[in-house]
């Protein structure tokens, strides 16, 4: 009996204690912070309001906390100093203390955090991390020190971090890499040093991190590719050397990068690609050479790239791509960007052979509708799904050239004034169509098929009218068919003639205007006729006609008058002694002449 009373008393106490613990863990959360379980179910404390000042304190932060994040909004950064507060938080797996102006890390402050995987100290004011700062972080896998003010790192700074896999020290002020800087972190897989003004890479330091799979040094002011470095990194699979000052890739620069899958060399000053530059990169899948100064691509530039699926050559100075340059990659290449190059039609033809191509970017390439003329045998790859033709000079939408499987077309910022019903119907099945930024002419001539689609989607309703001026700046969604004027003068010529011709009642305005133009022409013809007639008479009576015939041209030209009086209407220039006639050239002729002279 007594035992059972005592037992139930014990039970009560147990419950009370459990209730208290639950209550207190629920209640335990610092003011201005939030406490929750993250997507992996870990106890997380997040303090992001900012304005915290003084030594870091963890009052009311539960000892069970597994993830601690202290950050701040940009306009209210914290002003924290580190203090040895972590000793009892043995369950911590991640610590993020960012945007907190932390100036330095204390000795052994992270001691004993044997479960810590991630330490993120980005966006602080750290100038000089030292090895003892990281002591005790036996299991740390990822260390982020981005956006601090680190100027130098002494040898062996990270030597207690035996398990480190990722080290990121981007956008600091490191100018050189001291020997043995990566001592004892031989398991490192990813090293990110972008945004430090290194100018060159010291190959020695890479001896300690030969397991590297990923190396990034974007914006490091590097002048060349240092092949000594890559000789030491046989497993490298992602290499980012973008936005440096590399001028050339020499024949065997990349020879040792036999496993590289992603290579980024965009934003450098490379001006030519030699044959066989990539002869050892059989694993390469993604190559970007955008924003360089390439003028041509040789026939054998890509020959050994058996696995290339993505190639970015945009914003170079390419005019010509050698015949067959893409042949080697024609069965694998899926994404090709050539935007921002002034490509010749010839090069567009080369694209037809890219059997596997799904996505093609040709923005800002100076392409006109003539380049896309089906008669020139331009064929886009037959499996193409996405085509970017934005920012070109296309003024007539002709859908004949579009491949059957196309799903997405970007034809923004061209010179389209309208699209006719036939061609629009052939665009209707597209999943995505961008028509923004064309000089749409919202009148009955041009816009009706588009206006009829205005209630379908924003693609059409957001089209902005550019002319006539009565509806300039209005979107199709705001217009009714009744608002449209008849074809405005601007429909036929460029320029803003519609200012004169379209009154608020456009139809009457244009009829009146064209009638007055006709009248004017008739009047002029009548006057010229009268003049000619009276002059002939005068000539017969007062001059010697045979003399006139010899000097004819001179007199005629000096007087400028009888231009319209000869039997046939032809223009003569004074210096054309061999009576060369000026005929009106067709655009084709002009282009021919142009291409001969250039
Ligand atoms: C801790 O919690 C108590 C009560 O829940 C509160 O009064 C106190 O201000 C909190 N302290 C901090 C630093 O958040
Ligand atoms: C580290 O902190 C910065 C700044 O808050 C953040 O942008 C970044 O995503 C964090 N890194 C990781 C891996 O959480
Ligand atoms: C960062 O540290 C430097 C000295 O190392 C100091 O002059 C500067 O004011 C600090 N910046 C901020 C925002 O606290
Ligand atoms: C690259 O392509 C070759 C030949 O097509 C193939 O044998 C090899 O396995 C591929 N390599 C990679 C890394 O995909
Ligand atoms: C286009 O191709 C056809 C047959 O394939 C050929 O007869 C014709 O000459 C080609 N036209 C041009 C402009 O290359
Ligand atoms: C758009 O409006 C037309 C009539 O103007 C109507 O027949 C059609 O169903 C509408 N379509 C949608 C998607 O609302």
Average pLDDT over residues 336-340: 95
| Nearest Cα to Cα of residue 461 among 478, 483, 439, 440 | 478
Ligand 3 pocket test, pick from 99, 103, 128 with the greatest ligand atom count within 8 Å of Cβ, gives: 103
Tell whether ligand 3 has an atom less than 6 A from the beta carbon of residue 125.
Answer: yes
Residue with tokens 């990169």: 281
Ligand 4 mean position, distance from CA 235 (Å):
16
* CA-based torsion, 71, 76, 81, 86: positive or negative: negative
What's the confidence (pLDDT) of residue 200?
Answer: 93
Give the nearest ligand 4 atom to 282 CA. Answer: 1
- % of the chain surpassing 90 pLDDT: 55
| 325 compared with 385, residue with greater pLDDT | 385
Residues contacting residue 381 through CB under 8 Å, at least 6 positions apart: 351, 352, 353, 354, 355, 356, 357, 360, 403
The predicted model scores a pTM of 0.76
**542-578 pLDDT tens trace:** 444 444 444 333 433 333 333 333 333 333 333 344 4
Residue 23 burial (CB count, 10 A): 10
- Under the banding of pLDDT at 50, 70 and 90, the label for residue 347 is confident
CA-only gyration radius of the chain, Å: 37
> Between the CA of residue 494 and those of 376, 418, 443, what are the distances in Å?
27, 14, 15
- CA–centroid distance, 171 to ligand 2, in Å, is 14
What is the number of the ligand closest to the CA of 329?
4
Bond before 468 cis per omega within 30 degrees: yes
* Confidence band of 444 (pLDDT split at 50, 70, 90): confident
Report residue 144's pLDDT band, with 50, 70 and 90 as the boundaries. Answer: very high
d(C-alpha 474, C-alpha 487), whole Å: 17
As a whole-number percent, the residues of the chain with pLDDT over 70 amount to 76
Residue of 271, 437, 430 whose CA lies nearest to 363: 437
C-alpha of residue 377 to centroid of ligand 5, in Å: 6
pLDDT at 520: 60
Looking from the CA of 570 toward its CB, the CA atoms found within 13 Å total 12
pLDDT of residue 489: 55
pLDDT digits over 158-212, tens only? 999 999 999 999 999 999 999 999 999 999 999 999 999 999 999 999 999 999 9
For the segment 485-516, what is each residue's pLDDT rounded down to a tens digit? 887 655 444 433 333 333 333 444 444 445 55
Ligand 4 atom 3 nearest Cα: 306
Q: Give the number of the atom of ligand 3 that is nearest the alpha carbon of residue 101.
A: 14
pLDDT for the residue numbered 526: 63
Query: Does position 152 have pLDDT exceeding 70, yes or no?
Result: yes
Quick one: pLDDT at residue 539? 45
- What pLDDT, on a 0 to 100 scale, did the predictor assign at position 554? 40
pLDDT at 319: 85
| Residue 358 pLDDT | 96
Packed helices 545-559 and 506-542: angle between N→C axes, nearest 10 degrees: 150
| Mean pLDDT of all residues in 11-15 | 53
Q: How confident is the model at residue 256 (pLDDT cuts 50, 70, 90)?
A: very high
Q: Which ligand is nearest to the CA of 124?
A: 3
């Amino acid at each position: 009996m007594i035992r059972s009373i005592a037992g139930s008393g014990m039970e009560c106490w147990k419950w009370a204690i459990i209730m208290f613990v639950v209550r207190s863990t629920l209640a335990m959360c610092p003011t201005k912070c939030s406490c929750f379980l993250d997507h992996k179910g870990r106890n997380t404390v997040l303090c992001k309001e900012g304005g915290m000042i003084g030594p870091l304190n963890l009052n009311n932060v539960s000892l069970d906390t597994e993830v601690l994040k202290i950050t701040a909004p940009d306009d209210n950064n914290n002003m924290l100093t580190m203090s040895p507060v972590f000793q009892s938080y043995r369950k911590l797996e991640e610590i993020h203390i960012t945007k907190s102006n932390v100036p330095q890390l204390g000795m052994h402050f992270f001691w004993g955090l044997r479960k810590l995987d991630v330490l993120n100290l980005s966006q602080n004011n750290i100038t000089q991390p030292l090895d003892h700062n990281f002591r005790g972080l036996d299991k740390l896998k990822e260390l982020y020190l981005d956006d601090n003010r680190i100027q130098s790192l002494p040898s062996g700074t990270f030597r207690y971090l035996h398990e480190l896999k990722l080290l990121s020290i981007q956008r600091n002020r490191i100018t050189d890499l001291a020997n043995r800087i990566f001592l004892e972190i031989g398991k490192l897989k990813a090293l990110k040093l972008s945004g430090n003004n290194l100018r060159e890479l010291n190959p020695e330091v890479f001896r300690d991190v030969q397991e590297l799979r990923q190396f990034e040094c974007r914006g490091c002011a590097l002048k060349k590719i240092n092949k000594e470095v890559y000789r030491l990194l046989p497993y490298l699979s992602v290499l980012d050397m973008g936005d440096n000052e590399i001028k050339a890739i020499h024949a065997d620069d990349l020879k040792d990068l036999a496993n590289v899958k992603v290579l980024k060399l965009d934003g450098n000053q490379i001006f030519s690609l030699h044959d066989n530059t990539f002869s050892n990169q059989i694993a390469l899948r993604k190559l970007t050479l955008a924003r360089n100064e390439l003028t041509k691509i040789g026939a054998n530039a890509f020959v050994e790239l058996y696995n290339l699926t993505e190639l970015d050559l945009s914003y170079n100075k390419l005019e010509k791509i050698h015949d067959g340059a893409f042949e080697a990659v024609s069965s694998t290449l899926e994404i090709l960007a050539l935007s921002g190059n002034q490509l010749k039609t010839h090069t567009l033809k080369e694209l037809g052979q890219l059997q596997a191509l799904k996505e093609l970017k040709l923005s800002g390439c100076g392409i006109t509708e003539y380049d896309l003329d089906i008669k020139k045998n331009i064929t886009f790859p037959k499996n193409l799904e996405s085509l970017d033709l934005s920012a070109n000079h296309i003024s007539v939408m002709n859908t004949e050239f579009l491949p059957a499987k196309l799903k997405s077309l970007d034809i923004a910022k061209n010179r389209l004034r309208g699209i006719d019903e036939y061609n629009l119907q052939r665009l209707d099945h597209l999943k995505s169509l961008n028509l923004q930024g064309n000089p749409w002419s919202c009148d009955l001539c041009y816009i009706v098929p588009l206006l009829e689609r205005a209630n379908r989607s924003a693609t059409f309703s957001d089209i902005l009218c550019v002319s006539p001026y009565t509806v300039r700046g209005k979107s199709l969604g705001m217009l009714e068919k009744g608002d449209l004027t008849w074809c405005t003068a601007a429909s036929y010529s460029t320029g803003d003639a519609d200012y004169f011709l379209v009154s608020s009642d456009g139809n009457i305005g244009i009829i009146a205007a064209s009638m007055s133009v006709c009248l004017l022409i008739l009047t002029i013809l009548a006057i010229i006729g009268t003049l000619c007639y009276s002059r002939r008479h005068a000539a017969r009576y007062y001059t010697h006609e045979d003399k006139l015939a010899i000097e004819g041209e001179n007199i005629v030209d000096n007087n400028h008058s009888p231009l319209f009086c000869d039997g046939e209407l032809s223009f003569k220039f004074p210096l054309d002694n061999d009576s060369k006639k000026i005929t009106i050239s067709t655009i084709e002729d002009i282009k021919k002449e142009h291409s001969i002279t250039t």
